[in-house]
Amino acid sequence: MSEQGFRIEKDSMGELQVPAQALYAAQTQRAVDNFTISGLAMPRRFIQALGLVKAATAEANRDLGDLDDAVAGAIVTAAEAVARGDHDADFPVDVFQTGSGTSSNMNANEVIGHLASRALGSTVHPNDHVNMSQSSNDVIPTAIHVSAAVACAEDLLPALEHLAVTLEARAQELERITKTGRTHLMDAMPVTLGQEVGGWAQQIRLGQDRVRAALERVHALAQGGTAVGTGINARDGFGDAVAKALSARTGLPFRSSENRFESLSSQDAAVELSGQLKVVAVSLMKISNDLRWMNSGPLAGLGEIALPALQPGSSIMPGKVNPVIPEAVAQVSAQVIGNDSTITVAGQSGSFQLNVMLPVIAHNLLQSIELLANGSRALADRAVAGFTVNQARLEEALGKNPILVTALNTVIGYELGASIAKRAYAEGRPLMELAREVTDLSDEELERLLDPAALTAGGIPGSD
């Protein structure tokens, strides 16, 4: 031990100084020294997955007779502590590191080996014991899949469910409130506010389906492929045993990959999941922008709804309140769409038997899942659940909407209807008044045909 608070560690490349209290050793320190790039450490969910994988591999090696019970037990206990987050400060390696993620794998091996050695009172070697039957080339792809699957199951899918349920409840509550529909941002035929919000809810429901479908491929794990996919230094059945152990720990249906050459050389499942996350982001962007438009004003905009007033909106304009949650969620959506572009490029970087952009895939994929989960809950709780409706404003706009003349098409024809609409716009007169002058329809027929609420049902107006 040196007087400066360092200890000397060595690896196959020689000796170097490591902070005295660090649980990691030489290979992690080399990575810390080499990759002073972003200051971004690997995500918590990824470290959790590394811990879960190392516990599962120790159990598999024990059950296959390659690791004695005491060593395996010490590794499992240490790996579980890593998975819980007890030692996150000892995982300092930058996201932008060697493309295989070898530095993060060795970081986990060294920390777990140190903890297991301390508990056991004898040496548990990071390579020979903790990394037994493994390579970074199958551990890191496995950790990406495990971390993404757990994050989706525990965070994203419940958050999307919460948002969908919140939207569905508001849609039911607002099903009888009629408003002007809009296409091309221009006045169109009426819809109910419930129909509009129900459309948003369906977008989120379909997003859940898309994510679940992609997870079917994510549940296939590379573990057991070791260095190049052949499984060198791992016993037959090792990958299956690891998948079974991970399923028992997480409750998720993990399985050994049908083709480990594919699982090491590509990240197509991660790219697919990211693509579906992008669709969810697009949905959230659409919903957020609709809320912003509907909330605009309060005097010079649409002013159809009022979002909850959460904070002052201006440092110079007193009384101004902005749609801060939809704006934040729109930014989340932009970030997730950008992350997908990074993951797409990274997914193309499978050179022969290994993808070499694994850490950046893990970082972006897990960030997207976390952002979408948190953004969905914020949108549900701080925007959707609490907005109020300006019904007087909705009714005023409906009463002036000449596009309602569309309901007369089957009775008076398109051309006459267009003429009535143009005159109503130009003269600022109610549609009913002009229709009464230009057609021979009775007031009773016009009221029946032009009833905005009835028109939200679709079909031919006035028909049974």
Enumerate the active-site residues.
184, 314
The H-or-E segment that residue 164 falls in is helix 157-173
- Rounded to a whole number of angstroms, the CA Rg of the chain reads 30
> In angstroms, what CA-CA distances link 128 with 50, 69, 101, 110, 135?
17, 15, 19, 11, 11
Which residues are within 8 A (CB) of 309 and not within 5 positions of it... i.e. 6 or more apart? 321
Give which of 227, 226, 229, 170 is closest to 199, Cα–Cα.
170
The H-or-E segment that residue 10 falls in is strand 6-11
Interhelix angle 157-173/358-379, rounded to 10 degrees, is 30
Tokens 């919140």 sit on residue: 166
C-alpha to C-alpha distance for 198 and 170, rounded to whole angstroms: 8
332, burial (CB in 10 Å: exposed 0-12, middle 13-18, buried 19+): buried
Mark 247-285 as b/e (b = at least 16 C-beta within 10 Å).
bebbebebebbeebebbbbbbebbbbbbebbbbbbebbb
Give which of 100, 106, 49 is closest to 79, Cα–Cα.
49
3-class secondary-structure state, position 385: coil
Q: Cα 262 vs. chain centroid, distance in angstroms?
A: 25
Phi and psi angles of residue 351, each rounded to the nearest 5 degrees, phi first: -95, 110
DSSP string across 333-351: HHHHHHHHHHHHHHHT-EE
Give which of 185, 177, 190 is closest to 401, Cα–Cα.
190
Q: What is the DSSP letter of 233?
A: T
> Strand 6-11 vs strand 14-19: parallel, antiparallel, or unpaired?
antiparallel
- Decide: 132 and 66 in contact? Cβ < 8 Å: yes
